[in-house]
Amino acid sequence: MTITVAGLKKEGADGLSVAQLIINENVETPQYVTVSVNDEFIAGDEFESAALQDGDSVEFLYFMGGGQ
C-alpha cells in the first residue's frame, strides 16, 4: 500500500500499524510524539491497534514547551 508520511509517498505493508510505522520511521522520542492520520489525532494507547490504509496521510507532531 502507498501512504504519505510527512508529505512523502512511502510504501508499506498492508495493515501496518501506527506503532510499527513509528519504529520504521525511526521517530525520535516516540513517547512524546502525537500522530495524526488524515488530519485526525490517534491516541497513544491506540498506536498498536490503529491500522493504516492505502492512501492515508500521516503526520508526526511534537509539542514543545517553553517561553515565559
- Over residues 53-62, the pLDDT tens digits come to 999 999 999 8
Question: CB under 8 Å to 59, separation ≥6 — which residues?
Answer: 5, 6, 35, 36
Assigned CATH for 2-62? 3.10.20.30
Cβ 11 vs Cβ 2: under 8 Å: yes
- pLDDT tens per residue across span 1-54: 999 999 999 999 999 999 999 999 999 888 899 999 999 999 999 999 999 999
Band of residue 67 on the pLDDT scale cut at 50, 70, 90: low
CA distance 40 to 66: 26
What's this model's pTM, rounded to 2 decimal places?
Answer: 0.88
Q: What is the pLDDT of residue 63?
A: 77
Q: What is the pLDDT of residue 62?
A: 85
